[in-house]
Chains A and B, each alone.
Chain A
Amino acid sequence: MAKRILITDDALFMRVTLKNILTQNGFEIVGEATNGVESVELYKSLKPDVVTMDITMPEMDGISALKEIRAFDPEANVVMCTAMGQKNMVVEAIQSGAKDFIVKPFQPERVLEAMSKLAA
């Protein structure tokens, strides 16, 4: 069965790009969230296998959303996917339970590698 992914990014372009990369490689996109609040809500209703999470977003940022999702489900697989690659951001995300940290811009292979590792 195809692994179920929830995409979280405020930019339409990023959601389309991630969707294309993932669907072309056998993953199923079960939902798209445009901010942290939507992502947490969709996580609870959809229970995806993996969540991609941008950080800089309106309403609720990705780090806060990551924490809320992990509080709801300590086993949640969340992969950060953001342009903010500074060390303290990576450390905070990983300490908050993120499974991987992808810095934009990225090559499609980098995303597939992260997903395959988690959704195996």
Chain B
Amino acid sequence: MKVQYVSPFAEAALNVFQMLVSITAERGQLSARPQMFTTQQVNVVCGITGNIEGLVIYGMSMVTADRLASKMIGQPIVTFDQLAASAIAELGNMISGNAASVLATQGFSVDITPPTIIRGSNVKITTLDIPSLLIPMEIGDIGTLEINVSLQESRKSRLAAA
């Protein structure tokens, strides 16, 4: 997978955290992931379609999800209810949407699907043939958001180029 697909997501995450929770996040070290990996406690899954396709998974601990949702909603989360889940899902949607805008400036036209939340640790995910890259974002005292990017040039684009 091309590293150039990953940077837009890190860049978008920095913008979104600044705007949403007024925190200057820090981008961690990029690493490759095996095709099968174990999820975090809370995961937002976002599908990407268009010139490049695949999925992006935003993973975090329950504590980080609680803190983020509390900040976004403007009051402490008592239980991780529908509203909190929706806030975390929307965070993934915002980062993906902003990344799509960055990708568009690089000539990639992509669309995003509505996000899905997967909760529970020790869930195994395999992206089959699409390799994954992982970029951790340190969000001040809120915690870490892991951005897992599994994207490839779409079949249609590959055929057009052939």
Interface residues of A (CB under 8 A from B): 10-14, 16, 56-58, 82-88, 103-107
Interfacial chain B residues near A103, Cβ < 8 Å: 97-98, 101
**B83: contacting residue among A12, A85, A88, CB under 8 A:** A12
Q: Are B16 and A105 closer than 8 Å at their CB atoms? A: yes
Q: What residue of chain B has the Cβ atom nearest to residue A9's Cβ? A: B90
Distance in angstroms between the alpha carbons of A49 and B161 in the assembled complex: 48
Indicate if B140 sits at the interface (CB-CB under 8 A): no
Top 9 closest A-B pairs, CB basis? Answer: A83-B97, A86-B104, A13-B86, A12-B86, A13-B87, A86-B101, A105-B19, A105-B20, A83-B94
A85 to B15, CA, bound (A): 13
Using known A-B contacts A11-B93, A13-B73, A13-B83, determine if residue A87 contacts B104 with beta carbons closer than 8 Å: yes
The CA-CA distance from A11 to B16 in the complex, in Å, is 17
Which of B83, B87, B95, B97 makes the CB contact (< 8 A) with A82?
B97
A83 in contact with B98 (CB, 8 Å)? yes
* Set of chain A residues within 8 Å of B96, measured between Cβ atoms: 83
Chain B residues closer than 8 Å to A16, beta-carbon distance:
73, 83
Pair B94/A104 contact, Cβ less than 8 Å: yes
Interface of A, secondary structure class, is loop
B113 within 8 A of A: yes
- Return the CB mask of B77-119 against A: 1 if under 8 Å, else 0: 0000011001101100111111011011100010111100000
Tally B residues with Cβ within 8 Å of A.
27
User: Are the CB atoms of A88 and B86 closer together than 8 Å?
Assistant: no
The verdict on A56 contacting B90 (CB below 8 Å), with A86-B104, A105-B20 known, is no
Instruction: Verify if B23 is at the interface (C-beta below 8 Å from A).
Output: no
What's the Cα separation between A88 and B104 when bound, in Å? Answer: 9
- A sample of 17 cross-chain residue pairs with beta-carbon separation below 8 angstroms, ordered by A number, consists of A10-B114, A11-B86, A14-B90, A16-B83, A56-B97, A82-B97, A83-B94, A83-B95, A83-B100, A84-B101, A85-B97, A86-B100, A86-B103, A86-B105, A103-B101, A104-B94, A104-B97
Shortest Cβ distance from A62 into chain B, in angstroms?
A: 12
In the bound assembly, the distance between CA atoms of A106 and B94 in angstroms comes to 10
* B142 contacts A by Cβ under 8 Å: no
